[in-house]
């Protein structure tokens, strides 16, 4: 794996994880470290901006294209990340309506 997923800078997703992967709570410590360390390579391979140079990277690209399910930790972690950022986040609010009479609930 020495040449697999080599990158020159760390990966951060300030849009979805402004406080970092580890501080958000969606990922284990190991998953957060893998995303930060190899995320640039994962993203480039997934988007086709980088060609795979090792068998491990070729397997990763095949996973990204849906040719096989996640088989290793890197693929599982990237799959989890992609699922988390593509899921629309639900916003829950608390509200109440105060009615002055019970006539508001009568059937029409």
| pLDDT at res. 87 | 75
| pLDDT at res. 97 | 64
Mean pLDDT of 83-99: 68
Residues 10 and 7: their CA atoms lie apart, in Å, by: 8
| pLDDT at res. 24 | 85
Distances (CA, A) of 50 to 2, 46, 81: 17, 8, 19
Diameter of the chain measured on Cα atoms:
74
| pLDDT at res. 93 | 60
**How confident is the model over 14-68, as pLDDT tens digits?**
999 999 999 988 999 999 999 999 999 999 999 999 999 999 999 999 999 999 9
CA 45 to chain centre: 15
What predicted TM-score, i.e. pTM, was given to this entire model? 0.75
| pLDDT at res. 104 | 55
């Amino acid at each position: 794996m020495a040449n697999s997923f080599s990158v020159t800078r760390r990966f951060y997703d300030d849009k979805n994880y402004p406080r970092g992967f580890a501080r958000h709570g969606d990922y284990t410590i190991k998953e957060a470290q893998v995303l930060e360390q190899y995320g640039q390579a994962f993203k480039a391979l997934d988007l086709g901006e980088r060609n795979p140079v090792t068998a491990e990277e070729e397997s990763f690209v095949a996973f990204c294209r849906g040719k096989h399910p996640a088989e290793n930790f890197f693929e599982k972690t990237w799959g989890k990340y992609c699922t988390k950022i593509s899921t629309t986040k639900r916003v829950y609010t608390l509200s109440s309506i105060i009615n002055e009479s019970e006539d508001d609930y009568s059937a029409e």
